[in-house]
Structure 1
Amino acid sequence: MSSDLSEHFLSDVSFDITKIDAADETFDLIICYHILEHIEDDYKAMQELFRVLKTTGTCIIQTPFKEGVIYEDATITSPEDRKRHFDQSDHVRIYAVKGLQTRLEHAGFCIEVREFALEYENESGFSPKEKVLICKKPI
C-alpha cells in the first residue's frame, strides 16, 4: 500500500504521518522517503511510524542531510524564507544524520545508518554517499 498526503503521486491512500489511520503493528515495511523534513511535529510522526511498524518490520528513512546539527526554526514560516534557510519552500528543517538518528532512537527505534558509496552496492539508484537510516524495533 502506498500513501501520499499531498496527492501529487499515485497512491492507494492518504495518511497524515502524525496520526496514521492504521492499527498498531500493521506494516512489515515502511519507506519514508523525503517526508520528515516537511513535518512540523516530526517526533509525533516518528512515534506513529514506530507504532504502526510490526515488531519484525523495517522502516527505511531518507531526507536531505547537512553536516553538523539539525537546523530548524519554527519562526521561519514564509515559503521564501524556508527556501532560503531549508533549501525548499515547504521544508521546516534540514537534518544532520546524527541528529535524526538520535530523534528516531528517542522514539524507540534501533538505527543502522547505511551509506551507498560503492556502485555495486547501489542497485537502488541512490546518489553517491547518500545516507539511509534503517529503523527497526528492539527485539
Structure 2
Amino acid sequence: MTKVKYLKSFRKMYNSLKKTLKKLLPKRFIFNNEPFFRSLHGILYLGNKHQCGVCKKKLRRFIELPNKDLLCPFCGSLARNRRLWNILTTENYLKGRILHFSPSRNIYRKLKKRSDITYVTSDYEDEFIADHQFDITHIDQEKATFDTIICFHVLEHIPDDRKAIKELYRVAKPNANVLIQTPFKDGEIYENDQIITPEDRLKHFGQEDHVRVYSPEGLKTRLKQAGFTVKSLYFTPKSDDAYFGYASPEIVLIATK
C-alpha cells in the first residue's frame, strides 16, 4: 500500500470512529478526551512546513476542509481561531473578566487554564462547550461587568442584532473592548426578514442559520449607534500566512465602550 493510500485509509477509519464515538459517548467525555483522540490522528501531519499558533504544533500540513478552511489536526483550530488567538495574545485583551460567545474548544481550553483572568463562556443553543446559555439579546449579567468580550461569528445568526449590540454595550465596562468578526461583503448590509427557510438562507446569506450578510461599514455603523467607538483591523496577505494557516484578507472589528 502506498503512503498516500495508507493516509487516506487511516483518515477514513478515523472519521468513521469519530462519528461512532459521538453517537455512543457523552459530549463532556468527548470534550475532555478530544486532545488525546486528535493526537492519534495528528501524528500523520507532523512536520516543519507549518505551525499552529494556538497549540504550537509544527505540521507537515494543515487539513484542508471542503470550504478551503485549514484545520489544525491537533487542536482543531480553524484559520479564524488562529487569527483571534494571535490578536488576544499580542494585544492587551486578556485581562480581568472576559465574556466569550460560542467559544472554539481550542481557545476555551487555553483560557480556562489561566488563573489571571475570569473567563466566562456562553452558547445559547448548547452546540459548544460553555458555562452558560445567555441569550445575547438579554444577557443575564449586571451592567459594566466585562473587560473584554469576544463575539466571533455570532451576530450574523441573531435576528435582532441591534438589541444584541445594545446588550454588549450594557455589560461592557467603560473602556472595555468587544472583538467582533462576521462574514463580510462589499457595499451595504444584506438582510431580509422574509427569508426564513434554511434553504433560502443558504442561498441568500451563505449558511442555513444566517440571517444577514454584513458589510464592515454597515456593522460599524450599528455599533456606533449603540455608543461604541470602532476601529477595523485589516489583515492583508503576508508571506507567513501559509506557514501559520491564516486566511487573508481578513477584517476584525474592535468596538470600545
* TM-score greater than 0.5 by the shorter chain: yes
Give the helix-richer structure, 1 or 2: 2
Matched, 1:106 2:225: yes
Matched, 1:64 2:183: yes
Give the whole-Å Cα distance in 2 for the aligned partners of 1:121 and 1:130. 14
TM-score for the superposition, normalised by structure 2:
0.51
Residues 66 and 96 in structure 1, CA contact (< 8 A), matched pair in contact too = yes
Residues 35 and 63 in structure 1, CA contact (< 8 A), matched pair in contact too = yes
Identity %: 50
Give 1:56 deviation, angstroms.
2.3
Structure 2 equivalent of residue 35 of structure 1: 154
TM-score for the superposition, normalised by structure 1:
0.92
Runs of 4+ in 1 over 3 A off after TM superposition: 118-122
| Higher Cα radius of gyration | 2
Residues 4 and 11 in structure 1, CA contact (< 8 A), matched pair in contact too = yes
Q: Is 5-14 or 43-52 further displaced after alignment?
A: 5-14
Q: Secondary structure at the match of 2:247?
A: coil
Render the CA deviation track for 1:89-139: whole Å, top value 9, x for unaligned. 1100000000000000001100001112254897x96521110100101xx
- Alpha-carbon RMSD across the aligned residues, in angstroms, is 1.7
Unaligned runs of 5+ in 1: none
Give 1:12 deviation, angstroms.
1.1
Give the whole-Å Cα distance in 2 for the aligned partners of 1:121 and 1:42. 35
Over 3 Å counting, the alpha-carbon distance change for 1:126 and 1:107 in structure 2 is farther
Residues 116 and 126 in structure 1, CA contact (< 8 A), matched pair in contact too = no
Over 3 Å counting, the alpha-carbon distance change for 1:91 and 1:119 in structure 2 is same
1:1-139 equivalences in 2 (<5 Å): 1-117=120-236, 119=238, 126-137=246-257
Give the whole-Å Cα distance in 1 for the aligned partners of 2:162 and 2:127. 24
Counterpart residue identity of residue 12, structure 1: D
